[in-house]
Structure 1
Amino acid sequence: MTWPIVPSLATVLERLPLIFIEGVEHRQYCIREATAKTVLVMLYCGAIYGTEKWIRPSQVTDMSDEQLALIDHTEREAWCVHMLSNRKKNRSPTAWYAVNSREQIRDEGIAQGLIPNQAVMERPGVPTTSSKPKYALRSEFAALFDESLQDEALVAAIAAWQLRFLSATARARATIIRRNAAASTHRVPVMFPNGAAITLAHGESSNITKAVVEQFAVNFLEQPAVLWLSESANKIIDETLVAELHLHIDQSKSLPDVILVDLSPVSGDILVVFVEVVHSDGPISQQRKVALEAIALEAGFETTNLAYVTAFADRSASQYRALVHNLAWNSFVWFASEPNSIVTLQSGTDKKLSELL
């Protein structure tokens, strides 16, 4: 066989984030150093799908910089054969990882990152608990680390791979994230459901707020209206609507970023939706939910006609991963990058799973 040329670790680390763009499921597992080293070991061992060569995670933990520098194909093959043999092996004192650290490579980098995102194939017929080697790179993915690919040719090759192998959902999320990032240096125009328009200061929070008003409200409310919108430089309240609804909004209170109203819900009662936009500030935690409910009661709302939503940029956003454990039960989570979907956090139900589908 022709052994693939092994790129530098720097090349793999540089290209993984270009290949697995923001919006890709479990992106954090796909772009970290342990995953880059996993890719390197597969290339070193010639583990490309179709060659019938495979690796197991222990080869990644046992690899060392000194071994990786031995690039003659006979040296590479001898190492791979020895690492897969039953003979007792002496680990290099400079091995990359401890013996018991295979889980981050197998369970995270490979199982949750590279396999679901179509970069690695698993050997058919090998049981999960087997110690046999069973992982190999897809040839199309391996080709992206050819260091002769540079500049426009590299960009084109990555784009072609993404179009073929990344899911439509991941690509759509990535497009929205890129669009928001490109707009983050300009003031953000926001169109209200009634046709009124405002501009917000540039920044990620404003991009999420825009999405809440223009997409969430339209997608999830029948007759949406913006009752209140707050940002650092703007406090916008629809005084006419407040008066029509006979409400009292105390602006000195700690109000949420956005208050939406559905003026024509299915139930026949007005629905009030408290929305917290999370880029730097906190989500709707249980404590925050209780505080907002108290404000709602004082304003004249009924608790049965309240909904609570925490809005994030994306499921892969660091803010969501850091705060998900704080989100209140009986509230909703919405992501600007997936505007037609919503997460429900439901507690205290006696329904079976089949009844919730």
Structure 2
Amino acid sequence: MPLSPLPSVAEIHQRLQKIFPEGSPNRANCTWEIAAKTVFVMLYVGAVDGSENWLRPDQVTRMTDAQANETDDDKRQAWAQESIKSSKGEIPGRWYAVNTRESIRDDTIRAGFIANGVVVEREGLATTSPAPRYALTGDFAALFDPNLKGQALDHAIADWQAEHLTAGALARITMVRKGAVAGGEHVLVKFPSGETRRMAPGPSSVISKAVIEVFAPRFLKTPAVVFLSESRNKVVSRDDELASSIGLHIEAQKNLPDIVLADLGPKHPLLVFIEVVATDGPVSKERKKALNDLAKEAGFPPEHVVFATAFLDRSDSAFKKVVGSLAWGSFVWFASEPENLIQLHDGVSQTVAQLAELPGDGTVKADTS
């Protein structure tokens, strides 16, 4: 059976970025250079489901630039057989050290490709068997045909994503894209009351819109927007009046929150402070104390106050940058995965029961009944 044409490692790397865009599950494991080289070696030896050819992770470490340039079928097939034999000598120019095979197996193949359903594992092999066991799925391998270019490639990738990525994964990718390109038009936000407001374009506004339109009705019984600030218009007069009416005295240069929500459903209304983070400014320990003081002055006891930080996505650099400074006793919400809520439980606070039910896995999910 003839082997398929080979794209370069660089071309595979570029295509992986398109196949797994920002927001894709386990994206880093599927798009780094070692992933591209793993796909290359799989294609090189013909390890595609249905071909009866399989890959062993250490074959990726044994590949060299010189061998990669030998692309006729006979030399590829000869190397595929030779590369699974025991080798006591050094391999000049090998791509990776011998001990890298565990990382290729665990981080790239299992955590990345198998988790996304693009690599299959050979059945019937014992766990300890040294026989090759991994292969690309046929439809995934087809995306690396060098003759597939331009719009035809884009359409093929889009068709593959629609068929193979889950609805949740596609929704997450869409939200991340919105945040990444938000720079042209104003963002129209619809409040629970039916009021609409235009916010300046930008990722912060995209997250704020998601907080008000998605988070609020999902996690609050009777949501209301008390206050909304934005970079170009720190304090909107009507919000300031509403906040003042319930005793919140917000100073633009001192204690300005991004969003203040209220849940009017419980017997004792719940006040929810939310910081929107596109680059910086989460609910830290110091920030939580300042906002708690603000709520206390308005007559809200600690048990009726909740703090949350909203991000676009958990793979976003903004989250990775500040995760170590997030305050215990607060929540974390991602616009790209709106059904989930992370609780940084401090062992004391019980306000979570008023926000949503907390299952045993530590992740809050909305009651959809």
Q: TM-score, normalised by structure 1?
A: 0.90
* CA–CA separation in structure 2 for the residues paired with 1:256 and 1:172: 28
Q: 1:107 to 1:17 in 2, by over 3 A?
A: same
Give the structure 2 partner of residue 102 of structure 1: 101
Q: Which deviates more from structure 2 when the two are superposed, residues 139-148 or residues 198-207?
A: 198-207
User: Structure 1, residues 186-229: CA drift from partner, whole Å, max 9, x if none?
Assistant: 22222222233322221111111111122211221122222222
Question: Is the contact between residue 64 and residue 95 of structure 2 (CA under 8 Å) also seen in structure 1?
Answer: yes
User: Structure 1: any 5+ residue segments left out of the alignment?
Assistant: none
Give the structure 2 partner of residue 233 of structure 1: 232
Give the structure 2 partner of residue 81 of structure 1: 81
* RMSD, matched Cα: 2.5
Secondary structure of residue in 1 paired with 2:101: helix
Counterpart of 2:242, as a letter, is L
Secondary structure of residue in 2 paired with 1:307: strand
Give the structure 2 partner of residue 122 of structure 1: 121
The yes-or-no answer on 1:47 pairing with 2:39 is no
Q: 1:130 to 1:255 in 2, by over 3 A?
A: farther
* CA–CA separation in structure 2 for the residues paired with 1:126 and 1:229: 59
Give the structure 2 partner of residue 169 of structure 1: 168
* CA–CA separation in structure 2 for the residues paired with 1:356 and 1:275: 20
Counterpart of 1:326, as a letter, is S
* CA–CA separation in structure 2 for the residues paired with 1:306 and 1:128: 52
* CA–CA separation in structure 2 for the residues paired with 1:120 and 1:326: 37
Counterparts of residues 176-191 of structure 1 (less than 5 Å): 176-191=175-190
User: Structure 2: any 5+ residue segments left out of the alignment?
Assistant: 349-357, 364-369
User: Structure 1, residues 216-260: CA drift from partner, whole Å, max 9, x if none?
Assistant: 112211222222222221123624433442343344423321111
Secondary structure of residue in 2 paired with 1:342: strand
Q: Which deviates more from structure 2 when the two are superposed, residues 163-172 or residues 95-104?
A: 95-104
Quote how far apart the aligned CAs of 1:356 are. Answer: 6.5
Q: 1:167 to 1:91 in 2, by over 3 A?
A: farther
Q: 1:142 to 1:89 in 2, by over 3 A?
A: farther
Quote how far apart the aligned CAs of 1:54 are. Answer: 1.3
Q: 1:316 to 1:250 in 2, by over 3 A?
A: same
Q: 1:244 to 1:113 in 2, by over 3 A?
A: same
Counterpart of 1:208, as a letter, is I
Question: Is the contact between residue 253 and residue 295 of structure 1 (CA under 8 Å) also seen in structure 2?
Answer: no
Q: 1:187 to 1:129 in 2, by over 3 A?
A: farther
User: Structure 1, residues 138-186: CA drift from partner, whole Å, max 9, x if none?
Assistant: 1111110001111222122112211221112111212233344444322
* CA–CA separation in structure 1 for the residues paired with 2:162 and 2:109: 21
* CA–CA separation in structure 1 for the residues paired with 2:362 and 2:160: 37
Counterparts of residues 1-357 of structure 1 (less than 5 Å): 1-86=1-86, 88-234=87-233, 235-236=235-236, 238-265=239-266, 268-348=267-347
* CA–CA separation in structure 1 for the residues paired with 2:314 and 2:361: 26
Question: Is the contact between residue 249 and residue 299 of structure 1 (CA under 8 Å) also seen in structure 2?
Answer: no
Counterpart of 1:301, as a letter, is F
Question: Is the contact between residue 24 and residue 169 of structure 2 (CA under 8 Å) also seen in structure 1?
Answer: yes
Question: Is the contact between residue 188 and residue 196 of structure 2 (CA under 8 Å) also seen in structure 1?
Answer: yes
Question: Is the contact between residue 280 and residue 318 of structure 2 (CA under 8 Å) also seen in structure 1?
Answer: no
Q: 1:164 to 1:195 in 2, by over 3 A?
A: closer
User: Structure 1, residues 73-94: CA drift from partner, whole Å, max 9, x if none?
Assistant: 22222222122113x2434321
Q: TM-score, normalised by structure 2?
A: 0.88
Counterpart of 1:134, as a letter, is R
Question: Is the contact between residue 122 and residue 134 of structure 2 (CA under 8 Å) also seen in structure 1?
Answer: yes
* CA–CA separation in structure 2 for the residues paired with 1:85 and 1:29: 28
Q: Which deviates more from structure 2 when the two are superposed, residues 30-39 or residues 177-186?
A: 177-186
Q: 1:291 to 1:124 in 2, by over 3 A?
A: farther
* CA–CA separation in structure 1 for the residues paired with 2:212 and 2:359: 32
Quote how far apart the aligned CAs of 1:347 are. Answer: 3.7
* CA–CA separation in structure 1 for the residues paired with 2:127 and 2:309: 38
Question: Is the contact between residue 228 and residue 259 of structure 2 (CA under 8 Å) also seen in structure 1?
Answer: yes
* CA–CA separation in structure 1 for the residues paired with 2:360 and 2:250: 41
* CA–CA separation in structure 1 for the residues paired with 2:361 and 2:159: 42
